[in-house]
Amino acid sequence: MRTLLCIPLLLAACAAAPSAVPRQSADTAWSDLRAKNPAGMEFSLRLADPHAYREGELIRVEIKFPKSDSPQPAEELWLFAGILLDPAGECGTMASPCPRPTNAIYDPYDPIRRIGTVIGPISASLNSSLPVLRPGRYRVALLARKQVLFKRVSIPPSSFYSYADPPQYAVSNAVEFEVAAATEEWLKRTIASSVAILSVPQGGSGDRGLQGSLAAEQLRFLDVPAAWSASLALLPTEANTLLRGLNATRDPARVCKLMQEAIPAPAQAVSVYYLSGMAGICARANLPDPPPVVPLKAGEQPPEPSAEVREYYRRRQEFEQDAMGKAASLLAASLTRKQGEAKVIALQTLMEQVRQSRMNDPRQPIPAWVPAVKQEFAKSYAALGWRQTQLLGLYASTLPSPDMIPLLESAMDAWKPGDRYEAPREALRDLYATDPARAQARIVAELAKPRTWLDSPQLDLLPVSAARFTDDELIAALDAAQRPGGWNPQLRLTALAKYANPKALPRVEALYESQRDSCQPELMAYFVRVEPEYADRVFHSHPWDVHVPAPPCTRRYFERTPQIAMGPVLERYMAAYLMQGDVPLKKLAAQSLGRYGSAAAEEPLWDAFRYFHEYWKGKQAELDQNGEGVYLEIELRNAIARGRNWLATESDLRTLESLCISERCRDDARQDLGAWQRPLRISVEGQPGSIRAELAQYREIESVEAMEEKVGQFPKGTEFVLIAHGDGADGAAARIRECAGAHGLTVFSR
């Protein structure tokens, strides 16, 4: 199913006209409701600038409503429930307050919707919650509805609310105002004023701030051709607001045509939001209205969509995808004529369109215009300014190819001390996805420099077999880094720990013993890898007494050392502290053993979990008040159930569930058991430069190699169903199938 971007489909606003309902009836009804407000509740509404408003003019109000500032969940909440309007049209009554989502502008960012959730007065415009008001005299009041707390969970802190039964409402005072017809002169003057404000550059002394937001809002609600054209010309300024206004037009056919014709204009900014909004507007103009929605009665659950509804939205989706595809082709054809920021936005839009299209259907061929767009990107790269990094990463991850390598390397070459690190690090990641050997050679070259943007995590891309360093080079680099003015000693310590030869042991021992800081988790990783007996002597330099606090170094060894090197001596050290009194340290030990421990680490984790069960058995209420205890139980259970280097079977998961004390632990256990419905599910999602995969209860697997390891742990004859989508997912899926076949496993595709 296509993932739509951030702009919702906004439906046509309903038009309310003054009705013949007697004013006295609304006065009496609203007054009766207001008399039932809770004692002492301040719920007030006032016009910010009372005057006779024009059609489409902002009606600004200030709202006061109580909100508790207590950190504890309140026993009751009062939240926005709508607007009462007199005379009412298609909305505005107690039975159907405004806005009605089927016929009014729905704006999830409307400040009015914050009633009951924020402390202090709220400033807002009524326009986004009311239908278009024709000339006449109106009264409005705000409605809030009571929710009550019915469940409280201590870990994580959360509260669950439901509406009070029977319903309870609070009503604000009413305000009255007049709406007059909008004259041509007023429209012209108002549009010009908004454009002048929004044309001021953002930032510095010319910061338009709140004035700019209000100017964009005003344009949004002037549903006339001059306002449409002004909104398009101002983009990308206040794009969210202006595009919401265009989406809500009562004349979708004209706005659709206007937006289509504007796409090739040299200065027109065309974002993904522009294209998706235009597609929705054009769908409204060219397709019939959706099937009517039958209102639900109190307590009713929404029914399953009918065949008619499903067919309508299938056709609408096809129409919008086709409209966006044609618009993208038009945008690509005009790319060479685009100017300034409009070109930068067009480049980004086109690549995001390619990415979305491939996520929808990876088998779909890339658009014919992609080579020309890549060529234009290369020509324009030097002029992209601060957007270089963002767009280079987008292009390289969406369409990795050798022709992007010079640009990726130029991003790394351009770095100098004092610059931010994100650009070269992202470029390295993208280079690795395109040409791993070249990326590894770059890491080696960076490590030879006295100052570099490289950091310890990037060394995960460089295996020992590709690390062409001598021990002398590694030790000399560390010595230079640790002198005054040196650069990133931790990087040099990590490189030494990962790549130094066993023959360097005496020199590394001397380095370790000469350090001012006695805690050296990186050097300890070298000993775990090369000389476990030396590491064991360090670990045993203090008693493993679970009744006294652990030395300060222990936490750093548990946290940092396993990421570089793991071995039996370190596993035994961490396993001993699973029974220690320091709960955060026990949690850290459990996390590291689950992520990095060998299959031998599973048994001590089980022992610790069973001990926890025996200690807390029959004391769930007491445990629920002990946040640290619940989190420890969860970490122990998760380490066993989702450990990387062993398989927790369905039987193991049921045993874990039976030993859980807290409800949160049981919830996690039930979730994992739910993943064991056969055939077991493998999900692979391709992402820029990487994958994210799931297999049974194992989540957030971040490499094909890790997935192959996990697949190989399942017993022969196990059956899986494989679902793959996104960039690079097909290649990962092929490797998983090959690995499964080699282990006697069966993989079906969906």
d(CA 424, CA 210): 37
- Between residues 150 and 540, the one the model is more confident about: 540
In a domain, 46, yes or no: yes
In a domain, 102, yes or no: yes
Look at residue 33 and tell me whether its pLDDT is greater than 90.
no
d(CA 743, CA 652): 22
Look at residue 637 and tell me whether its pLDDT is greater than 50.
yes
Is 373 in contact with 329 (CB distance < 8 Å)?
no
d(CA 475, CA 487): 14
In a domain, 97, yes or no: yes
Q: What is the pLDDT of residues 51-106, one digit of tens each?
A: 999 999 999 999 998 876 666 667 888 889 999 999 998 899 998 899 865 434 45
The pLDDT value recorded for residue 3 is: 37
Place of tokens 């130094």: 500
Look at residue 223 and tell me whether its pLDDT is greater than 90.
yes
The top-scoring range by mean pLDDT among 104-108, 271-275, 724-728 is 271-275
The pLDDT value recorded for residue 271 is: 96
The pLDDT value recorded for residue 118 is: 80
In a domain, 314, yes or no: no
Q: What is the pLDDT of residues 499-516, one digit of tens each?
A: 999 999 999 999 999 998
Look at residue 399 and tell me whether its pLDDT is greater than 50.
yes
Instruction: Lowest mean pLDDT of 1-15, 250-264, 573-587, 623-637, name the range.
Output: 1-15
In a domain, 641, yes or no: no
The pLDDT value recorded for residue 362 is: 67
Domain, as residue range, for 737: 680-749
**DSSP result, 292-358:** PPPPPPTTPPPPPPPHHHHHHHHHHHHHHHHHHHHHHHHHHHTGGG--HHHHHHHHHHHHHHHHHHH
The pLDDT value recorded for residue 73 is: 67
Look at residue 158 and tell me whether its pLDDT is greater than 60.
no
Q: What is the pLDDT of residues 181-204, one digit of tens each?
A: 999 999 999 999 999 999 988 764
- Give the helix/strand (H/E) hosting 148: strand 136-153
Q: What is the pLDDT of residues 295-325, one digit of tens each?
A: 666 556 778 888 898 999 999 999 999 999 9
Q: What is the pLDDT of residues 122-156, one digit of tens each?
A: 999 999 889 999 999 999 999 999 988 865 544 44
In a domain, 741, yes or no: yes
Going by pLDDT thresholds of 50, 70 and 90, the confidence category of residue 702 is confident
Last residue of a domain, one of 155, 180, 205: 180
- The tokens describing 63, both together, are 């709202």
Going by pLDDT thresholds of 50, 70 and 90, the confidence category of residue 14 is very low
Is 291 in contact with 307 (CB distance < 8 Å)?
no
The pLDDT value recorded for residue 107 is: 65
- Mean pLDDT of the residues in the chain: 88
- Give the helix/strand (H/E) hosting 169: strand 169-171
The pLDDT value recorded for residue 152 is: 52
Q: Which residues of 10-25 are buried (b: 16+ CB within 10 A; e: fewer)?
A: bbbbbebeeeeeeeee
Is 229 in contact with 257 (CB distance < 8 Å)?
no
In a domain, 239, yes or no: no
The pLDDT value recorded for residue 299 is: 57
d(CA 669, CA 70): 33
The pLDDT value recorded for residue 5 is: 34
Q: What is the CA radius of gyration of the chain?
A: 32
Last residue of a domain, one of 130, 153, 180: 180
Going by pLDDT thresholds of 50, 70 and 90, the confidence category of residue 48 is very high
DSSP state of 146: E
Last residue of a domain, one of 180, 212, 230: 180
- Between residues 19 and 702, the one the model is more confident about: 702
d(CA 410, CA 13): 51
Q: What is the pLDDT of residues 544-601, one digit of tens each?
A: 887 888 898 999 999 999 999 999 999 999 999 998 888 999 999 999 999 999 999 9
- Between residues 568 and 357, the one the model is more confident about: 568
Stretch 35-41: mean pLDDT: 88
Q: Tell me the CA distances in angstroms from 462 to 378, 383, 407, 491, one per residue in order.
A: 29, 33, 21, 13
The pLDDT value recorded for residue 26 is: 67
The pLDDT value recorded for residue 9 is: 29
Domain count, the chain: 2
In a domain, 486, yes or no: no
Look at residue 207 and tell me whether its pLDDT is greater than 80.
no
DSSP state of 71: S
Q: Tell me the CA distances in angstroms from 281 to 7, 109, 258, 259, one per residue in order.
A: 12, 20, 11, 9
Going by pLDDT thresholds of 50, 70 and 90, the confidence category of residue 384 is confident
Predicted structure pTM score: 0.77
DSSP state of 98: B
